[in-house]
Amino acid sequence: MRQSMLTNEQILFLNDEKETLSHIQLKLAEIDFPKENLAALQKAIMQLDELFLVVVVGEFNAGKSALVNAILGAKVLPEGVTPTTSRVTLVKWGEESSEQIIDEGFSIYTYPLPLLKELNIVDSPGTNAIIRQHERLTDEYVPRSDLVLFTTSADRPLTESERLFLKRILAWGKKVVFVLNKADIFEDDAALQEAKGFILKHAAAVLGDTPELFPVSARLAQRAQTEPDEDQRQQLRAASRLDDLEKYITSTLDDDTRLQLKFQNPLGVADNLIVQAEKINQAQMDDLKDDRQTVDSIDSAITSFERELENELQPRLAEVESILQRLELRGMDFYDTTLRLTNIHHLVRGDRVRAQFEKQVIQDLPQQLEDQVQRLIDWLVEKDLHEWQQIMTYLQRRQAINIEHIVGPGGSSPTSQRRELIDSVGVHAKSIIENYDQNKEASQLSKQVEGAVAQTALFEVGAVSLGALVTTAVLSSALDITGTVAAGTLAIVGFFVIPYKRKRAKENFKEKMSEFRSILLTTLSKEFGKESQNAVKRLKENVTPYTRYVHSEQERMDNTESTLNEMRQDLATLRSRINVVKK
């Protein structure tokens, strides 16, 4: 037979198909597709390595091994007058000639013949062998064979054991071709025709139709292979009648429709597995739907919480700034009304002026600031607690869905893992809410704010409260006007010093108050901003194990969906090529 059953274009396609299917098999394994399901694809890929399969059956000494060797054009299998094939034997391509005995009923012969890269041949024990050895043949190889060469011997044509075995393989509906081996023993054509008639009559009775029959002489065909003389070789080859059988085998296996079906079958297996994988992935996505909604709600709530803290903090700090601005205006008015010539007799009394400054300018500033900062603290603490309660509501709702849909510890591993994460986060959130002491939280935050303010350059660390800190700062910012004038220099002070002192005092006070206001507001903004970030961070850290897992699962499923779509595109590309890959 010829060296290859395929064209170069078909060989290229075959290699691409095997590479694509192997890639799909690897990707399916990576997405944790059930291994037992992948076995079907592995088998389909292996069948591409055994593209054509011819099964040779017949009785002992019918010359089956000799026929195989004659067809292959090489002595691959042992031959002899005694039964040489005691087990089912698969003949396939290998880098070197070898025999591998798998078990007592099966062996594999390999041979470095190019044709065997596409064509595998199964040689069988005689039909009169024990039934157990035929089970592998009839159950595994005959069903996927392309052609069954039913070999009978010219000296014992179609024996009873062969007829019974023919019935065994009839159920598979495979194409059976009869080969009458040792046809060279017939003395004339009449004897050959009589043997052919006998075989076809009894075969038709079993098959229901008259099969093809080829008389051959494997012995003469093998002699032709070793004959050095070309003319003698041609005569022996013609006498063997093997060419007719080989042409029939080639035309049968060479059929475009049959070949396309062979190329398409593994693609169908892969397509079926992709459908299964898509269903599994979609089921996992459906199972994750409630978790995605919960996580989206939690993420949205935390984002809104973070945005609200940021947006609401500045208006609340603006109230502090408003208090300080009103203080500054009172201070400026104080200098205008106090540092005047008509009031000069009071200016020499510094202690009285200071007392008047505290009364008219500072007023209840300490209490106003403390109250406003306390409102800031209460706002932040309440927002924090409210957010924990909201998160807890989402988690409890998801837990309720779990209880409704997941009874007991059963269910898939990812589902169980998500449930454990939800329960863990929920327990932690519930514990925080139940133990949340607003007064304690507010007190701790108040101390942190006072400490932060006290550490700024304008204040003394030893001050006891925020109000005291601010009072000290304001007094130190005001110009000490004690002893501004002396009674003996009244005229000079009145006309020259007092206006100058008033101008300088107002400028100094305004400058100091601007610096003080900037530092105080910056400090408060930084401290409350930090605490706001900490509140958000605590929330995120608590729910992150659950949200991270759900996001990770969603990403995995999205990637799986993308991978499966790519697989489908690869299969579609191969299918489109099958239609144009012809002889």
**Comparing C-alpha atoms, which of 11, 76, 23 is closest to residue 48?**
11
Q: What pLDDT score does 242 carry?
A: 92
The letter for the amino acid at 101 is I
What distances in angstroms separate CA 479 from CA 335, 476, 497, 569, one per listed residue?
10, 8, 15, 83
| Phi, psi values for residue 378, rounded to 5° | -60, -40
Q: Is the CA virtual torsion 40, 46, 52, 55 positive or negative?
A: negative
Give residue for tokens 């309660």: 389
> How many angstroms separate the CA atoms of 169 and 52, rounded?
18
Q: What pLDDT score does 86 carry?
A: 66
Mean pLDDT (the chain) is: 81
pLDDT lower than 70: segments of the chain: 1-4, 80-86, 127-139, 339, 341-350, 401-419, 422, 426, 428-429, 457-464, 477-498, 582-583
DSSP assignment of 135-184 equals HHIIIIIGGG-SEEEEEEETTB-S-HHHHHHHHHHHTTT--EEEEEE-GG
Tell me how crowded residue 35 is: count the other CB atoms within 10 A of its CB. 10
Sheet (strand 88-93) strand order = 98-103, 106-111, 88-93, 119-123, 52-58, 147-153, 176-181, 212-215
> How many angstroms separate the CA atoms of 244 and 249, rounded?
9
DSSP assignment of 280-341 equals HHHHHHHHHHHHHHHHHHHHHHHHHHHHHHHHHHHHHHHHHHHHHHHHHHHHHHHHHHHSSG
Residue 209, sorted as left (phi over 0), alpha (psi -120 to 50) or beta, turns out to be beta
CB contact at 8 A, 103 and 95: no
What is the SS3 assignment for 436? coil
**Comparing C-alpha atoms, which of 195, 124, 206, 118 is closest to residue 160?**
206
CB contact at 8 A, 188 and 232: no
Q: What pLDDT score does 3 carry?
A: 65
Q: What pLDDT score does 253 carry?
A: 81
The letter for the amino acid at 467 is G
**Comparing C-alpha atoms, which of 290, 289, 304, 302 is closest to residue 541?**
302
Please write down the long-range contacts of 401-407, taking CB distance under 8 Å and 24 or more positions apart: 401/290
Q: What pLDDT score does 200 carry?
A: 93
What distances in angstroms separate CA 424 from CA 302, 536, 539, one per listed residue?
19, 19, 14
pTM over 0.85: no
Q: What pLDDT score does 483 carry?
A: 40
Task: Encode 476-497 in three state secondary structure.
Answer: HHCCCCCCCCCHHHHHHHHHHH
- Tell me the per-residue pLDDT of 313-327, one tens digit each, with 9 for 90 and over: 999 999 989 988 998
DSSP assignment of 451-467 equals HHHHTSTTS-TT--SHH
Domains in the chain, CATH or no CATH each: 51-254 (3.40.50.300), 284-578 (no CATH)
